[in-house]
A and B are shown apart, each in its own frame.
Chain A
Amino acid sequence: MGKPMQVSRYWRHFKEKYRLIGGKCENGHVFFPKRSVCPVCGSRNIEDFQFSGKGKVLSWTIVRNPPSGFEYYKPFPLALIELEEGPVVLAQLTDVTPEEIKFGMEVEMVTRKIREFDEDGIILYAYKFRPPVK
């Protein structure tokens, strides 16, 4: 048994993590993750917004000394992705080697395994980004 899993903490964010659902305010500002107040205009009238999942790499780093729970995945790239709708997300890149990553590289969202909580815990799935298949 490792640390407590806090299942509810992760469960609350499944929609955002699995599907890249953020927020859109009454004035058309979109943001990720969804918040109760628009970070641009302060509106509290917010609805769900489905991002297309397409974006490009603004910058990245290679994680070689990962935090606990991510050791088996090293080395892995962590990148700032500018979504085509504007917001920037921090996410792992997948199906790509460090040498293949370029500034401005086009990427698309996929839902992948983020980590497992030991042998007997839950499995977390969330967005990552990869070069488009075609």
Chain B
Amino acid sequence: MGKLLKPIKDVGIVGYGAYVPMYRIKNEEIGRVWGVSSFPIKEKSVPGLDEDAITIGIEAARNALKRARIDPKLIRALWFGTESKPYAVKPSATVIAEAIGATPELNAADFEFACKAGTEALQAAIGFVGSGMAEYAMGIGADTSQGRPGDHLEFTAAAGGAAYIIGEKSSETLAYFEGSYSYVTDTPDFWRRQHEHYPRHGNRFTGEPAYFHQIISAAKGLIEELGYSPSDFDYAVFHQPNVKFPLTVGKILGIPKEKILPGLLSDLIGNTYSGATLIGISAVLDVAKPGDRILWVSFGSGAGSDAFSIVVQDAIEEKRDLAPKTMDYVSKKKYIDYALYAKARRKYII
């Protein structure tokens, strides 16, 4: 067997759904407070006071169910990728499973791999369905990521998520997987120790050896194993901590900007960590045509990437309108200032 990850059965996406909280803070407003005047993005999403990774996961999962049109009791696994677990110990996945009516006959767990936990959950779901163990499995990525006040991560650390229900490839799948490829090395570019409120990072070290090395290696590995060239893809979604990094990946791989922009949302919502590429792909599925081939490469610090190739199927046309689209959430927004942002992020002791 080669390095390509391919299950025994062909699998696809029967339903997908995204969610992004409606609050936004502009980078220039954060810059006003900390005396910074050049910014990685325009604005980022902020979770409401009553939102966390679990509530974001619930809404994304409900949207995925609307498109899948299946009984939630048929879901045999619900895996939730996040680095902002509301409980350090107690699964978030069980709360989500209960809220969508999928309990009790399923496997449920939380995955953590910095920004890559969402695609980890998805890889596992592909394996679960592709081996014939389950009819349906759900992978979710959602975060309310933390940035130390005043640190440059504060300009991008945002909130959002998306959910994917995997089933055997059929006329009900709206896109199928051609294969996936995972690439992982021990690269400590970003971490958060036990009981710490904020992560630490290696500044420039997060670029070359971490982000670019893992993403390029995973993308090239996948494309080579599938026997394709970058021009075979109609869209590409790369992990998006900012706007510059994914566009640079496109340049290195030879994928034009026009194929990346439809799934590049970081300028408008920030870096949603475990949700980032899952939301980007949901935005692409909202506009893609049957037959389109999409390159999907996540990145998580620590570090590694998962790369997928998916091909859009006919069912997309009737399923995409069954739930709110990604841009419905992105464009419904309310700006808040730094004082309300600090309240929303629970910085006040009362």
- Which residues from chain A contact B328 at a C-beta distance below 8 Å? 133-134
Closest B residue to A95 by beta carbon equals: B22
Contact of A112 among B55, B87, B343, B350 (CB under 8 A): B55
A111 x B87 contact (CB < 8 A): no
B86 x A123 contact (CB < 8 A): yes
- Asked if B98 lies at the interface with its beta carbon under 8 angstroms from chain A, I say yes
B329 x A133 contact (CB < 8 A): yes
Closest chain-B Cβ to A71's Cβ sits at a distance in Å of 6
- Which residues from chain B contact A134 at a C-beta distance below 8 Å? 324-325, 328
Contact of B98 among A15, A72, A123, A128 (CB under 8 A): A15
Closest chain-A Cβ to B153's Cβ sits at a distance in Å of 24
A111 x B22 contact (CB < 8 A): no
- Which residues from chain A contact B59 at a C-beta distance below 8 Å? 110-111
A113 x B22 contact (CB < 8 A): no
- Asked if B9 lies at the interface with its beta carbon under 8 angstroms from chain A, I say no
Contact of A94 among B50, B87, B348 (CB under 8 A): B50
- Asked if B52 lies at the interface with its beta carbon under 8 angstroms from chain A, I say yes
CA distance A33 to B188 in the complex (A): 51
Contact of B324 among A14, A92, A114, A133 (CB under 8 A): A133
- Which residues from chain A contact B86 at a C-beta distance below 8 Å? 123
B50 x A19 contact (CB < 8 A): no
B48 x A133 contact (CB < 8 A): no
Provide a sorted-by-A list of 14 A–B residue pairs whose CB atoms are within 8 angstroms: A14-B98, A19-B99, A72-B346, A94-B50, A95-B48, A95-B334, A110-B55, A111-B59, A112-B50, A112-B51, A113-B55, A123-B87, A125-B54, A134-B328
Q: Which residues of B contact A (CB under 8 A)?
A: 22, 48-52, 54-55, 58-59, 86-87, 95, 98-101, 324-325, 328-329, 332, 334, 343, 346, 348, 350
Q: Which residues of A contact B (CB under 8 A)?
A: 14-15, 18-19, 50, 71-73, 92, 94-95, 110-114, 123, 125, 128, 133-134
